[in-house]
Structure 1
Amino acid sequence: MGQVSRPATSAGTDAGVLVVDVVVVGAGPAGLSAALNLVRARRTVLLIDANRPRNAATLQSHGFLTRDGISPLELRKLGRAEVEAYPEATVVQAVVDEVVPEGAGWRVHATGRGTAVSATARAVVVATGLREEFPSLPSLRAFYGTSVHSCVECDGYEKAGEALAFVCETPDVVDRALYLAAWTDDLVVYTNGAPTLDEAGRERLAAAGIRVDERPVADLEGDRSGMTGVRLEDGHVEPRTGGFVRPTWHVDLDWLGADVERDAEGLLVVDASGRTGVPGLYAVGDVTPPGPEQLIVAAGHGARTASAVHRDLVGGLRDVRDAVQ
């Protein structure tokens, strides 16, 4: 193993370009956790965040030890403040428009409101998360985050025992509905006219006491107090006090100028420590398989990836990588 050099304790500049050890793109729990653990390893870090979290409409997050019930936005705010407290950290609100390999490292550019930042880094951690696309129901957004949710693990407890709807147009409808039924025995699955169920799937749901309605859905009904029902296109209204929806997710990485392996869903393929197949490029959180996960899980993955990045930067380090695994 070659000589180990200590990381710098502050970011440098080169002709207006910020020079850092690592750029982290995205400041959700995964990105914040990665950045925090990297600066504690005395790595200089540029954390870039567009401040467009997928869960912005959610009032409370759950399952995060010591922070159960906290607003996701407040959790991000607290995490960002913790990272910013370290002199090794530079945090900017901007939209990344270029991340490309350059020499033995990476060139990064981002544009914010009235500002721009250019940087070079030895490593990049992608933690941008995903963009959600919901079934086309006019009032869904009005109830999303209060009466309607997408994460059963996060919000199932608060809906336990209620008369729930599950709107799902994707082929995994049966498995997801059976999972949701652990929280309630009054569940109606709406496929919104999508041909996602076969006879075997219908039989599995019926055996579990789950009703299925495959007719097109017109909208959700309700008032300021919350959701009250599901209205079908034929006019029938089924009383429901809440529900869950299965979004489809999209990976927006047009700015990433590297040939990175992706899975069938477009997610970045990584090893157990967040390494992609491109040297110096890592990914963590929802942008990696299996996709969306609980906040505390994403934070744990961020910490693990930070450890891998630090080890890999210590002197050219395939030998060290192999030694510690």
Structure 2
Amino acid sequence: MSEQFDWEVVIVGGGPAGLSAALNLARARRRTFLLDGNRPRNSATFHSHGFLSRDGISPLELRKLGREELEQYPNVQFERTIVESIEPLADGGFTVTYRGGVATTRTVLIATGLREVLPVLPTLRAFYGTSIHSCMECDGYEYADRPIALIGASDDLAERALLLSQWSRDLIVFTQGVGHVSETDEGMLAGRGIRVDRRVVADVAGDRDGLTGVVLADGETIPREAAFVRPDYETALDYAQGLQLTLDPEGLIVVDSAGRTSTAGAYAIGEATPPGPQQLIVAAGDGAEVAATINRDLL
């Protein structure tokens, strides 16, 4: 049955999750085609943390090293391209259309992650990835005991502030005038020395050395050396509409504990599945786990 298809597995997305899956499938001697558009959401980040043996590495360098490891396996092919559609075949399997070609495959693995929608602040992107971040677990350590801002409009600001206080109590929570922090939570945070500012943030300020402050709509600038923001996230799944995948209320792909989607032969891993954004090493672990599932299912 395998020989009627160009590939046994086509993986869409070449981040840590997709690369890890490809490596493990390669070692299982599965004919694997990895397609990646080279548009990672962490491309602005200079350093990634918490990845054993690679702490502090650039996320782009981590991806490069992963691709180089795959080159030693003759049963794996990598192509930098954009996937345009995936369509089921009548007798099983899928047709994958991408810029530059078409491939057939027994199974597909979606590992394309998420797109970040950042707060609308004119100067934010100038400092995003250097002194403004979204992942506290990834970047909080570098700002230990320094003045930090937490900027957001979500309902979990108090919880996030409590977590961020592990690294610094010199913390101000900016609710943007709409983020929810109850009076009870505000009192709890005040007990840890954390202030809540409910005014609207107009922008951020900084210089060549990084962030220097948070600019409020009333004209006041509050000095801060770093900030964490709470982005919204979007899936990038237009190419997968033909699979008719089941999505949860957040738009993430519903999978079972082994990464199987609601469509037979289609799998998904990483940030496009619940619970959403996660650390790179967790995504890589997910990739190894789902690769083992695919290998067994193909038997």
TM-score (norm 1): 0.88
Q: SS state of the match for residue 156, structure 1?
A: helix
2:94 maps to 1:106: yes
2:261 maps to 1:276: yes
2:290 maps to 1:305: yes
2:37 maps to 1:50: yes
Give the superposition deviation at 1:275: 1.1
Give the superposition deviation at 1:168: 1.0
Give the superposition deviation at 1:265: 1.1
Q: Residues of 1 paired with 2:86 and 2:193: CA distance?
A: 50
Q: Residues of 2 paired with 1:26 and 1:292: CA distance?
A: 15
Q: Residues of 2 paired with 1:24 and 1:160: CA distance?
A: 39
Amino acid corresponding to residue 25 of structure 1 in structure 2: V
Give the superposition deviation at 1:272: 1.8
Corresponding residue for residue 137 of structure 2:
153
Corresponding residue for residue 186 of structure 1:
170
Q: Among residues 240, 249, 261, which one is paired with 2:233 in the alignment?
A: 249
Amino acid corresponding to residue 73 of structure 1 in structure 2: L
Q: SS state of the match for residue 255, structure 1?
A: helix
Q: Residues of 2 paired with 1:230 and 1:38: CA distance?
A: 47
CA 1:195/1:147 → structure 2, altered by over 3 Å: closer, same or farther?
Answer: closer
Give the superposition deviation at 1:101: 1.0
Give the superposition deviation at 1:202: 2.5
Corresponding residue for residue 209 of structure 2:
225
Q: Residues of 2 paired with 1:43 and 1:176: CA distance?
A: 42
Q: Residues of 2 paired with 1:174 and 1:95: CA distance?
A: 39
2:277 maps to 1:289: no
Q: Residues of 2 paired with 1:84 and 1:31: CA distance?
A: 15
Corresponding residue for residue 118 of structure 1:
102
Q: SS state of the match for residue 109, structure 2?
A: strand
Corresponding residue for residue 30 of structure 1:
17
Q: How many residues align?
A: 297
Give the superposition deviation at 1:195: 4.4
Q: Residues of 2 paired with 1:308 and 1:84: CA distance?
A: 23
Contact 2:157–2:179 (CA under 8 A) maintained in structure 1? no
Q: Residues of 1 paired with 2:10 and 2:255: CA distance?
A: 18
CA RMSD after TM alignment? 1.4
Q: Which runs of 5+ in 1 are unaligned?
A: 315-325
Q: Residues of 1 paired with 2:157 and 2:248: CA distance?
A: 21
Amino acid corresponding to residue 97 of structure 2 in structure 1: H
The structure 1 segments of at least 4 consecutive aligned residues displaced by more than 3 Å after TM superposition are none
Give the superposition deviation at 1:271: 1.6
Q: Among residues 98, 116, 125, which one is paired with 1:132 in the alignment?
A: 116
Q: Residues of 2 paired with 1:195 and 1:212: CA distance?
A: 11
